[in-house]
Chains A and B, each alone.
Chain A
Amino acid sequence: MIMRRRSFLLLLCTLFFVVNLHAQTPQATPPPPAQPRSVAFPKPVEEILPNGLRVIVVERRESPLISAQLLIKNGGEVDPAELAGLADMTASLLTKGTQTRDATKIAQEIESLGGSLDSGARWDSSYANVSVMSSKIPQAMEILADVVRRPTFKSEEVERLRQQNLDSITLAMGEPGSIARFVAARVVFGDDPYGHPISGTAESMTRITAADITKMHSRYYRPDNAILVIGGDIGGKDAVALATRYFGDWAKPSTELATPGTGRRVTIVDTAPPTGGRVVVIDKPDAGQAAVLLARRGINRKDPDYFKGIVSNSVLSGYSGRLNQEIRIKRGLSYGAASQLDTRRDVGPFVASAQTKNESGAQVADLLLGEISRLSSSPPADVELTPRKAVLIGNFSRNLETAGGLVGQVGSLALYGMGLDEINRYINNVQAITTSDVQKFAGTRLDAKTANIIIVGNAKAFLPELQKKYPNVEVISIGDLDLNTALLKKKQG
């Protein structure tokens, strides 16, 4: 068994940061850095096929591997209220049978190439990915096109997946951390589109029919609502030729495309005062640890404050971020504390979290809240800010070292309608953020006073202390928890 020192993996590197350490004797202090080398990221090229499919290629020749990702510009956010998990079920079933291949044959063929194929839905998108040695890419692309374009959604496969999803929900509901994330989404988004569990609830799983799935597929899976990103050991011309061969005759329906974000979605005006301030405890007496979350609305991906947001989050999060400094490094209260500013097409959540022994649940909630407030009352001076920017830039750069990482980054920019050249502007954009930018962002967009607190654990151990500070705390027993509604509680009787 292998243990990591960190509870979260910190990715990647950079180039322009100098630590102020001057050598006096060679042994007692670290030798200073040499001149940094500059870095160049690959430049994506793109072409829109006549059927509307946007094809993007990023060449990176270091390893004989290729990743390809077909993105549909809608995901869990278009699930109908009663059918949570529909988009994810639809995407997951792509690889479970087409007009010419059954599920077994699909797995057999792709794995014989040494490749992997997976599909699913996220917020704002659905995806099918293949990753394969570059010598096998034509066969892999043919399979990718087949599963996206010609899935059959046979009822036996729907039933099989339904049971698997029900089992996964049972597993997730046994873990304090995953329960807390489900609850946080309901608390922050209520009954709005990002509020439900993306993989559905035990109740919604029983309601979804094969007809619902077929309807979702025909409505959203069309070339003019899709992006194909191919990255790795392949040139632009070859990749576009492959895309044309397997996706060029994918007919665009004559019906008009619903613009992403219409339907049930309500666009949240993110300057409006959020409905915050709930304190929710889910009592799970057998929990081996308490999961503590602080959650509120954050920003959307196109927000002009995006870079201020991710730099602010980097001050809080990461191994040496303020949350982990206070909670893990100074006090030994957790294996790791972190935060995420999850930016989406509409306003996504900001979540800060840590797991701790049940007895420390209230103390950790206080510490999380305190650090969010301190971001505006005591913003990071350059000596603190510069390293936290370096972390962001390093993570970003290292992520682009693999074919899969490259495709993921570029796909995300394309999905949200951002310029693909942002890859090459990222470092400058991060560097431009100042102390007062962070202070202003934290004070206006991450206000701790309107944040919600969610704790899942053995309530007996931390509730009395929590109630002293928050008399309005809502306590829900794990048996009464209902994730289908913003009320979070099953109706009595």
Chain B
Amino acid sequence: MARISTRLILSASLLVIVQIAGLAQTRMPQLKFTDRTLPNGLRVLSAPDHASPTVAIQVWYHVGSKDDPDKRSGFAHLFEHIMFKSTKNMKSEMMDRLTEDVGGYNNAFTADDVTVYHEVVPSNYLETLIWAEADRLSGLNVDDANFKSERDVVKEEFRQSVLAPPYGRFFYMIQEKSFVEHPYKRPGIGSIEDLDAASLKDVQDFHSTFYRPDNATLVVVGDFDPKQLDAWVDKYFAPIPRPDRPLPRVQVKEPPRKGESRVTGYGSNDLPAVGLTYLTPRQADPDSNALRVADAILSAGESSRLYNALVYTQQLAAEVEANDEVREDISLFYIIAILSEGKKPEDAEKSLLAEIKKLQDTPVSAAELDKAKNQIVTDQLRQRETSNGKAQALGEAAVLLGDPNRVNTDLDKLQAVTAADVQRVMKKYFTDANRMVLYYLPQASKPKEGQ
């Protein structure tokens, strides 16, 4: 008997030690980097990492879909495609010759606030890529045939992401209907009409307005020598002049919502979908951390509240998803459910609202809070397994959060989020007046005209 109780006591205290050790180990390794700004305004962030003989290069331009010119929705994204055509010293697709052909890759993306170009190449090609990125920042040299053919590609991208998938139009409407004043109301993929209206002159204007060294951040992570990198950056980027024109910035403020709004759309989907959206603060706001934890509690994994309630227990939904889609000016927290066969959107909406209310009424347990933080930290670890992932995290902190040090400090702040913080942000932002509800129903259920 005595032996047994001793073992029990022992294992109980071991458990405590393991848990403490476990918590301590959830801290992220710090990402050490160098931060430097050239006289022409280009910011350069770099972090050596010799794990593999490759290097990741990213150029973040602080211009995105919200800067699409009037009647040119989709233009910032179309422009991103054009950046792979002829430049001052490169012919079309030469970027692919310098990356893909030597065993690297390149890609780019356009978001509402930024456009990011990125490459991973064998590290002996770093100087070549610094030259190439500086070259396309210096100027474009695109002809009309290339422009039109790439515009056709983007129109196919529109069809492939919006028209062909059964819920493509649903996600398009979520953004379109969630904002009323801010240019965020124009989805970044644009429309066929606005794309057709774009011209070569728009391309030149956009480049000279936004593609300038003081609107760019170069991020380099991987196998390089810092002194050599500095010399190459000085050689190729420093001569690019900083224009004396001011940089235009979107000034429009999205007004607070004054009451629930409801929208219904119809599509080629067989199963109805329901979306709820709430305006949440800009990405750099301190509340973003608590909202990120709330997001994980609601929707990360099969133990999350929404999956457990709507998919597993009530079997109302085939899929459920929540996301605090953070943006520079104002963010959008959306929750969507694609219903199971034979289920009513009204019931799914009620159930989603009940889960929100629970988070507002009762603080989450310590275990659930820890689980959410562990999920977020492990996700970050996975993102930062590669040089490109580390560069992505650095660029986001510098450009969207305004301080590259937040690549490290935000994760500490996230660890400090309490159950009371989560409850507070749920009460503050998930109000009836701040809600937009979107029903997306099969075309066949649309009421006929005149009935």
**A residues in contact (CB < 8 Å) with B:** 1-7, 9-15, 17-19, 26-39, 62-65, 103-104, 107-108, 110-116, 131-133, 135-136, 160, 163-164, 166-168, 170-171, 173-177, 286-289, 291, 318-320, 328-335, 355-357, 386-387, 390-391, 393-394, 397-398, 401-404
Contacts and interface: CB of A to CB of B under 8 A. Distances in A.
A107 B302 contact: yes
Contacts of B374: 111-114, 133
A319 B29 CA distance: 35
Of residues A33, A131, A160, which shows the largest number of chain B Cβ atoms within 10 Å of its Cβ?
A33
Interface in B115-130: 120-125, 127-128
Contacts of B155: 332, 357
Interface string B37-73: 0000000000000011110000000000100000000
Given A160-B315, A288-B163, A403-B385, A133 B52 contact: no
Chain A interface, >50% SS class: loop
Given A62-B385, A166-B341, 9 more contacts: A13-B103, A131-B378, A133-B25, A167-B318, A167-B338, A355-B164, A401-B52, A401-B54, A402-B386
A166 B340 CA distance: 9
A319 B107 CA distance: 10
B318 A4 contact: no
Interface string B111-151: 11000000011111101100110000000000000001111
A181 to B, nearest CB: 14
A39 B51 CA distance: 10
Interface string B191-228: 00000000000000000000000000000000100000
Contacts of A328: 153, 156
Contacts of B112: 1
Given A9-B107, A10-B105, A393-B103, A174 B166 contact: yes
A174 B270 contact: yes
A36 B132 CA distance: 19
Of residues A28, A62, A136, A398, which shows the largest number of chain B Cβ atoms within 10 Å of its Cβ?
A398
A291 B156 CA distance: 12
B378 A115 contact: yes
Contacts, number: 287
A397 B386 CA distance: 12
Contact of A15 (B122, B188, B301, B304): B122
A116 B301 CA distance: 8
Given A111-B371, A116-B301, A171 B318 contact: yes
Contacts of A7: 157, 160
23 contacts: A2-B110, A5-B109, A13-B105, A13-B122, A28-B89, A33-B128, A36-B122, A65-B382, A103-B312, A111-B300, A111-B302, A111-B303, A114-B375, A114-B377, A133-B374, A330-B149, A332-B151, A334-B156, A357-B156, A393-B103, A401-B51, A402-B385, A404-B382
A94 to B, nearest CB: 13
Interface residues of B, number: 97
Interface stretch (B94-102, B248-256, B423-431): B94-102
B120 A12 contact: yes
A445 to B, nearest CB: 25
B77 interface: yes
B318 A164 contact: yes
A394 B104 contact: yes
A473 B76 CA distance: 42
B446 to A, nearest CB: 13
B84 interface: yes
B177 interface: no
